[in-house]
Amino acid sequence: MQLLITAVFLNWGAMDADGQEGNERIWRDVTGSFSVKAALVTIGDESVELLTSDGRKISVPIRKLSGQDRIYLKRSSAPKDTKVSPDATADAIRKALAGPALPPAEIKLNDLYELLSIPVFIDERGLESVGLHKEMPVTLKAGHESLQDQLDESLEAIDCFWCNTQTVLVVSSNDSMDRFDETWIYRFPTPRMDYTSVMSRISEVQPDSWEALGGRGTICPLVPVYVITQSPTVHRKIIKSFKRHPVPHRYEHPLDLRSVTVTGKEMLLEDCLKSISQQISIPIEFSSGLSSIGLDPEGVYVSAQLTNVSAKDALDLILLQFGCTWVEEGKKLVVKHDVEAEESLSTQRIPIGFAVINGDASHFLQAAQTSVAVETWEAFGGKGQISFSPPAVCVVRQGQPAMREFEQFLRDLRSLR
């Protein structure tokens, strides 16, 4: 097969490669050494059929084509105006990450938008803060069992990392990783209820990343599980080391369940959010407090390639670029600076929905404060407060963004029942 493909490309290279006629274009192999002028006829699961200028039909494996050709194929085969649910997008991301790696190639970082069949968000401001950019070269190497492993190696080589939200694969610089720390709940076997030994073994995964050695990672035992807050990279290392996957998040916020599409280069922030507003049928306004930080929604731009993602993911990722978030006020959403949003406190009584172990709420309260929006709690210098009201109610005083994280934490714990 290799000899056949090489021979085909050698013949291609001898053909005229100047210009294009009709839907003909120049196709190149993954090495860039061979090319042909041909029209696309059909796209299969593993190969394409091309019609050359002299009327011959040839079949070429997709994995043998250049990165730019694979981008072209994705555009050619992409369904138009297809609406799918956030759950369907989340499932597609899981399958893609566990699936085969991309063919080896030299690409640009922003080629991932087109090469991957899932929504991708490149944190441009996170890159720019350390002198990186979305046009920088990335080497995709062979020999990986999955796309996830390939992304780990390829992005680590350029001081970047990846993670995924509910419906988006996010790429940013290593220096921005703390903005994407994740809290997951794991079930680990605990012989003789020896939680200390289990936590000690978990902490052996990248030791300097844990709080005891100056890092950010925390582990809190909450019978019968462990609540771990860590960077996305360390979570993946824990999963590989222990062959244990965390309990899946339960996404139930109304904006987790609404699908939106936001695609465009250099969109005004105001226009971008107006598009989201129209899709979710909820007004979105800007707080007057944004002027105090010099943010003019009519004067700043954002780029996004987000198709069929949850409305919450779209809002969170776009506003993250400007140090902002969103809050619900009546029947509208208001965009506020992070500090302003966290300082607008409200008190809620929230049913826990599960029994507190031995009637002692201390472990639960500790897990909540060391895992959810840590810096916002009074115990860690913030203004947030939490207490337990028997038999199973939490009294929480927090800003809305931290409150959303806390409610997500509760949903995940309830799913253990």
The answer to whether residue 196 sits within a structural domain is no
Please give the Cα distance from 237 to 208 (Å, whole number): 14
End residue of a domain, out of 151, 178, 205? 178
Domain containing residue 305: CATH number: 3.55.50.30
Residue 391 lies in a domain: yes
Residue 149 structural domain:
86-178
Q: Are residues 353 and 294 in the same domain?
A: no
> Based on the domain organization, do 135 and 116 belong to the same domain?
yes
Instruction: Give me 402's structure tokens.
Output: 């931290």
pLDDT at 202: 97
Cβ neighbours of 232 (radius 10 Å): 18
Shared domain for 57 and 95, answered yes or no, is: no
The CATH number given to whatever domain includes residue 153 is 3.55.50
The domain boundary residue, chosen from 77, 107, 132: 77
Domains contained in the chain, number: 4
Q: Are residues 70 and 95 in the same domain?
A: no
Q: Poorest-confidence range of 13-17, 263-267, 304-308, 315-319?
A: 13-17
Q: Same domain for 58 and 92?
A: no
Q: 179-205 burial, b if ≥16 CB within 10 A, otherwise e?
A: ebbbbbbbebebeeeebeebbeebbeb
Tell whether the model's pLDDT for residue 112 goes beyond 50.
yes
Has residue 243 been placed in a domain?
no
Task: Based on the fold, state whether residues 153 and 142 are members of the same structural domain.
Answer: yes
| pLDDT over 50 at 17, yes or no | no
CATH of the domain at 66: 2.30.30.700
pLDDT above 90: percentage of residues in the chain: 71
Which of 256, 254, 257, 249 lies closest to 414, judged by CA? Answer: 249
pLDDT-based confidence at 11, cuts 50/70/90?
very low
pLDDT at 38 over 70: yes
> Average pLDDT in the 307-331 region?
96
The string of pLDDT tens digits covering residues 204-223 is 999 999 999 999 999 999 87
Each residue of 347-402: pLDDT tens digit? 999 998 776 654 568 888 999 999 999 999 999 999 999 999 888 899 999 999 99
Would the pLDDT of 54 be above 50? yes
Please indicate, yes or no, if residue 217 is contained in any of the structural domains.
no
